[in-house]
Each structure stands twice: as structure tokens, then as C-alpha cells.
Structure 1
């Protein structure tokens, strides 16, 4: 297959590109080219800034693709820019979403039938990042339906594996969290620490994207993650064992913890 991967230079996107290239697919990667990345030999690179009007459309004007994988659909405008540039040029569209669009969960476990939770998007809103991700999914659903293009949306959970900083205890990837454990500093957990976090290994998730690409006749929305979740208390224990330190934990009301980390915006996006 001839496959365009938008945003395939690192972590999950790069793992997908590596798998597709290794099995002989013709792979083209489109991104800004600002992240150093060892793309496999034979993979074509299009240096494109999606913030520049018409840049992607110009880059692919003489191309068509069996499938397109969009890894950086972080908002409705970003999804729309990519999709409109590829109208009439693709046989299957695969978009990377997030299980965070279901948060906060009404029940556990939750599957694809769980209602999504669109929220007021604004500077004081919770889960802002997930609201934008949901809006991106809705754009893809609307345009692909209009064009009669098979659409697959894959929604991973917290991604772990070689190639990026591990998920910290607040839903981000801040190395300072792990340094605090090493230094014996207090680690704040929400409420009683029994909030759940669910991981998916980057290699397994990349395999899921490849499977989806091979089955355009089975479009739809799929959650891709491990079979189980763990509490933040247990995750903290695991980190302490790995770092050979006894974590010093304080339990803080969720609203207070959100206020403490408001500058990063990441806690609101974690779905805790």
C-alpha cells in the first residue's frame, strides 16, 4: 500500500512508520521536520508546516494514497486542514484519537459505547485537551461521511514504551516527578490515590494501527489499550521499587491538585 503518515517522526507515529516500511509498504511522512528522527531507509519525507495555509495541499498535489494516518489531530482545525488537503486523494482515513474523550467515566470498565463528554472549551474548562480531540474526531466523521471515505478512529490510553518519558503521576511526561521520588520529596496524589490509570505499550498500539490499515472494510471507532487498569497508589509503588526509593505521598483533593498544576494544563487532560 501507499500510505501517508501525518506526524510520523517520533514515538507512536515512528513505530507505525517502521512497521509499515519493514513489510514493504510505500510510506510517506509529512511533518514540520523539526524533530530529529531516523526514518527507515526508503521512507519519503515531506517537510510541511500545517500552520501554513495550503502547505500540505501543495506538497501532495500530484499524489494519491491507499490510506492516510493522521497522528497529530489535536483539534478540529488541525483535522480539517489535513482532511481538506486530501479530499479525493485517499481510500481510507485513520485518525489517532484518545480514550480521554470519555472522561470522566460513568462506569468502569468502559467501551466504545460509553458516551463522549463534549465540554465548554475555554480557559477555565476542565479536560480542555480532550474536548479538542473529540472535536477533531467529529470533523473526521463529518467529512469522511460526506466523501464516502472509510474512517477508522483509534483511541489509545496512556502510552508507554521506549522513545519517550514515561507517564508521570499527573498525566503528563515530566521527568521532575520521578526526580522528586528519587530526592525523597513529597508526591501529591488526587483524593485517596485510587484513581485508575490504564497503559498501552507503544509497540502494541502501533500493531493496532497496522491492523486497522489492513482492514478498510471494518471502519469505526476502536479503543486500543491494555486489558486492565491500575490505581495511582500502585503505580507509585511500582515507580518506588524501580527507583529504589520509598515514595513520600500526600493526598490532595482533586480540585486543589488541578489548581496546583494549572500552569501545565496536563492534569486536566489526564482524566483522573
Structure 2
């Protein structure tokens, strides 16, 4: 079967392409630029690569159709208009499965936990989440009414070596990592009990792959793609002090005071959107229907990312 992966060299595709190639799928990796994946693998030296620009190529859908895919994995679709183009463009073709990458940001603030992946009353907080949720609803409608063969997968905070992970402040500033590595005191917002959802890119890729291999169970469904457990801001910071061999020195500040302490309005805003939707995601549905079993815990994923920071000189250690 032919599988097209759109956005193939990113956080998820880095690991999904080798899974597909090694399983014998006729795989096409589509990217805007011929950038290398985050981690190399033999499959990346044999997979067919196509350079295509969804935003600027008016013939993008027609070019996809000419490849006659059986399966499309859409990892970089951020606009409901693009989702509609896919559905309209692939009516009456041999496409048997369209896998859409949504996001945990499609959820709003937690009311009860864990979040329900099938919730039809989500209240996203920003335009990104609203667009993702609009695509989710549209795909579910098209599956029910017209049988369009879609599956929705919602990753948590994709993490791992080679890119910036969300830190114990809920943003991507390197300062808190360095302060902890130096054994300095840090401050967390509120009581540090908001929850982050680090999941390794490999495990997110695994959910996509399992949805392909368990197609009948996946059609028309939504799945969270996360680690088995999550971590609080406090737990994250405390773990990092232990990682660097220091006693934890953590204080807590009310939100407005903490934003002044953090010092960057942009990073403070980044923190807000990560922690205001604090909640828990369950992987039980993915385990039950797709036989998903995470390879990495959230702590293992964090440690791999921090080691990568150190190896790249982004965190200085004595």
C-alpha cells in the first residue's frame, strides 16, 4: 500500500517514516524543504522524498492525487480550509485512510479529568486550537455522513532530543534549565501544580502507525497520543535538580508576580497557554483499540531532551 506523509521530516515524521518503510509500505515523504530528520535512520536513505509546498502550490491537491495514495498521514495541516480541500479532492478515489494530526490544544480548560478524546464540546483557547477542533468536527461529520475514512490523533507536548521542549516554567526559555543546572533558586507560578504532557516523538509516531495497522478500529475515531503519565511544574523542577545533583531550591509566586520575575511578556504568554489548560490525557482508548504501548515515560523523554541540550552546549555544566 502507498502511504504519503505530509510534513515528513518533523518531530513525528522523523520516527514514522522508518516505521512505515521497515514494514514494507510504499512510502512517500513530502516536505517543503529537503531538511534532514531530527534523528537519522537507514530508512531515510531509501525512502522516496518529494518537495512540495502546500501553502504556495495551487496544484498541491492535484499533485497528491496523481500519486494515487491509499493512505495519507497529514502532520502539518493547521487550517480547516486545507482539511476541506483534502476531503473534497479525494472523494471517489482509492484513498482508504486519512490520518489527521490535531493537538492537545484543541482542548480548552479542564473541567473533569482525564480529558475525553471524543468530547464534541471542546472550548479551545486560541486560534490554533480552534482551527484544529474545527477540522476534527468536520472530519467526524464527513465520516458519519459520507464515509470519508478519517482518524484524528491529538499529540501532547511533543518532546525529545534535538528540539526545544517545554520547561518547568511552561515555556521554552533556557534560563530555568541553566539556573537549575547551576543549583540556583527558581520560582514557579502559583503552587507549581499545573500539568505538562511531554511525549516522545517516537510514541506519537507509534500512535499514527498503530492507527494504520488497526484501520478498522481507528476509522472515525479520535485518540490522544501521550505518555502514560504526566508531570507537574513542581515535579519537573524537582526532578531537574536531582538530575544535576543539587538540592531543590524552589519558591512560589502569584501569577502576576511570577510574570514580573520571568521578565519576558512573550514567554509569560507562552506559559499562560500551556498551564491554563492544565489537565490529564488518557491513553486507554489507544491502548484498547490500537494496542498502543508507549516506549518512553515522560521522565525518560525529558532526560533525553536535557542530555541533548548538554551535548549541544545549550546547558553548561561543570
- Please tell me the TM-score bracket, short chain as reference: 0.7 to 0.9
Q: Matches of 1:257 and 1:151 in 2, distance apart?
A: 43
Partner of 2:197: 198
Q: Matches of 2:132 and 2:253 in 1, distance apart?
A: 28
Task: Indicate if the aligned counterparts of 2:32 and 2:53 stay in contact, CA closer than 8 A.
Answer: yes
Report the alpha carbon displacement of residue 266 of structure 1 after superposing the two structures with TM. Answer: 3.0
Task: Indicate if the aligned counterparts of 1:187 and 1:247 stay in contact, CA closer than 8 A.
Answer: no
Alignment partner of 1:102 is 2:136: no
1:18-167 equivalences in 2 (<5 Å): 18-33=18-33, 35-37=35-37, 40-89=44-93, 90-114=95-119, 116-119=121-124, 126-145=125-144, 147-167=146-166
Report the alpha carbon displacement of residue 113 of structure 1 after superposing the two structures with TM. Answer: 4.5
CA-based RMSD: 2.9
Partner of 1:241: 242
Alignment partner of 1:263 is 2:266: yes
Structure 2 residue matching 1:210: 3-state secondary structure:
helix
Task: Indicate if the aligned counterparts of 2:169 and 2:271 stay in contact, CA closer than 8 A.
Answer: yes
Higher helix share: 2
TM-score of the superposed pair, with normalisation by structure 2: 0.72
Q: Matches of 1:130 and 1:239 in 2, distance apart?
A: 30
Q: 1:172 to 1:94 in 2, by over 3 A?
A: farther
Q: 1:34 to 1:131 in 2, by over 3 A?
A: farther
Could you list the runs of 5+ residues in structure 2 that have no partner in the other structure?
Answer: 279-318
Q: Matches of 2:207 and 2:138 in 1, distance apart?
A: 22
Partner of 2:5: 5
Q: 1:2 to 1:197 in 2, by over 3 A?
A: same
Report the alpha carbon displacement of residue 2 of structure 1 after superposing the two structures with TM. Answer: 0.8
Task: Indicate if the aligned counterparts of 1:188 and 1:252 stay in contact, CA closer than 8 A.
Answer: yes
* Segment of structure 1 superposing worse, 224-233 or 164-173: 164-173
Q: Matches of 2:62 and 2:154 in 1, distance apart?
A: 29
TM-score of the superposed pair, with normalisation by structure 1: 0.82
Partner of 1:182: 181
Q: Matches of 1:136 and 1:152 in 2, distance apart?
A: 11
Report the alpha carbon displacement of residue 233 of structure 1 after superposing the two structures with TM. Answer: 0.5
Task: Indicate if the aligned counterparts of 2:156 and 2:198 stay in contact, CA closer than 8 A.
Answer: yes
Could you list the runs of 5+ residues in structure 1 that have no partner in the other structure?
Answer: 120-125
Partner of 2:314: none
Report the alpha carbon displacement of residue 157 of structure 1 after superposing the two structures with TM. Answer: 1.5
Partner of 1:123: none
Task: Indicate if the aligned counterparts of 1:258 and 1:268 stay in contact, CA closer than 8 A.
Answer: no
Q: 1:85 to 1:129 in 2, by over 3 A?
A: same
Partner of 1:224: 225
Report the alpha carbon displacement of residue 185 of structure 1 after superposing the two structures with TM. Answer: 5.7
Structure 1 residue matching 2:199: 3-state secondary structure:
strand
